[in-house]
Amino acid sequence: MTDRAGRTAIITGANSGIGLETAVALARQGTHVVIAVRNAARGAAAVADIAARTGTDTVEQMPLDLASIASIRSFAAAWLERDEPLHVLVNNAGLLMRARTTTADGFETTFGVNHLGHFLLTGLLRDALVATGEGARVVTVSSGAHRGARHGLDFDDLMWERRRYSGFGMGAYCASKLANVMFTRALARRLEGTGVTANALHPGFVGSNFAREGDGGRLGDVGMRLLRPFALSPAKGALTSIHLASSPLVAGVSGEYFVKCAVADVTKWARDDAACDRLWDVSRDLVGL
């Protein structure tokens, strides 16, 4: 077991699935884990679960709804007020929406939560990570589904107002996961020289709560139920997140995309620095960073 005592990690969406198992593993290593969750009751259940499974009492929850700029800002303000070092930020939360909806701020929900919410959160916590310096890490849970955005991001319609919101939201989901990889690449370049690294990952196909409670619609639910026997357990699905958050083997590695704990290829869109910079600028303007 790696000894990570004295380190602190914030993990979004860690009341469930891959995030929960990432929290368990980091807590076992001695890291002080803050689970950032949108539902206090589910958060409390997860804190109790992690404490029981790890025998630690250093796990806590803080409220964070990535579908609300106000919530993200108040989460970051509450964290920064504590003036504690932050070693790891795991941008893990994510969803798939079968129909187009919008966040509190009018963003299409998938793009708003999966990308813009984490973009703003990371931006607000950036100085805390940089103050921690050498060894601080940003880990963003993307997906192999980023490949589904076959024509890259449509910068003229990032909010899916003009195109058909088709395929049970898969189009929007794939685009949001491509945005995760592009954001990571742009972030890594902007963090050069600070000692802070940024990497993205695909966890594999995981039998979590993802798309289980209706986000994928009834057909999506049935599909997930049929496919679940072939899925990885959440504990296995969390291995690459845990690796990137804590392994000395990836110290200093930045701007990469990992599958099964190894660097993997991304689509050409995710290697296009001009597009990554464009996404950065558009995102910054949208969230008012």
Ligand X SMILES: NC(=O)c1ccc[n+]([C@@H]2O[C@H](COP(=O)([O-])OP(=O)(O)OC[C@H]3O[C@@H](n4cnc5c(N)ncnc54)[C@H](OP(=O)(O)O)[C@@H]3O)[C@@H](O)[C@H]2O)c1
- Rule CB under 6 A: say whether 247 interacts with ligand X: no
- Rule CB under 6 A: say whether 169 interacts with ligand X: no
Minimal distance, residue 47 CB to ligand X, in Å: 13
- Rule CB under 6 A: say whether 65 interacts with ligand X: yes
- Rule CB under 6 A: say whether 146 interacts with ligand X: no
- Rule CB under 6 A: say whether 206 interacts with ligand X: yes
Judged by CB under 6 A, the residue of 4, 7, 10, 17 near ligand X is 17
- Rule CB under 6 A: say whether 220 interacts with ligand X: no
Sites for ligand X among residues 96-135 (CB under 6 A): 113
Which range, of 60-68, 73-81, 246-254, 272-280, touches ligand X by CB under 6 A?
A: 60-68
Q: How many residues bind ligand X (CB under 6 A)?
A: 28
Q: Secondary structure of the chain in the HEC alphabet?
A: CCCCCCCEEEEECCCCHHHHHHHHHHHHCCCEEEEEECCHHHHHHHHHHHHHHHCCCCCEEEECCCCCHHHHHHHHHHHHHCCCCCCEEEECCCCCCCCCCECCCCCEHHHHHHHHHHHHHHHHHHHHHHHHCCCCEEEEECCHHHHHCCCCCCCCCCCCCCCCCCHHHHHHHHHHHHHHHHHHHHHHHHHCCCCCEEEEEECCCECCCCCCCCCCHHHHHHHHHHHHHHCECHHHHCHHHHHHHHCHHHCCCCCCEEECCEECCCCHHHHCHHHHHHHHHHHHHHHCC
CA gap 243, 222 in Å, rounded? 32
Which range, of 25-33, 35-43, 249-257, 275-283, touches ligand X by CB under 6 A?
A: 35-43
Judged by CB under 6 A, the residue of 143, 184, 240, 283 near ligand X is 143
- Rule CB under 6 A: say whether 141 interacts with ligand X: yes
- Rule CB under 6 A: say whether 18 interacts with ligand X: yes
- Which of the following is catalytic: 107, 173, 183, 210? 173
Catalytic status, residue 165? no
- Rule CB under 6 A: say whether 266 interacts with ligand X: no
- Rule CB under 6 A: say whether 22 interacts with ligand X: no
Interface ranges with ligand X (CB under 6 A): 12-13, 15-19, 38-39, 42, 64-67, 92-95, 113, 141, 143, 202-203, 205-206, 208-210
Q: Which residues are catalytic?
A: 173
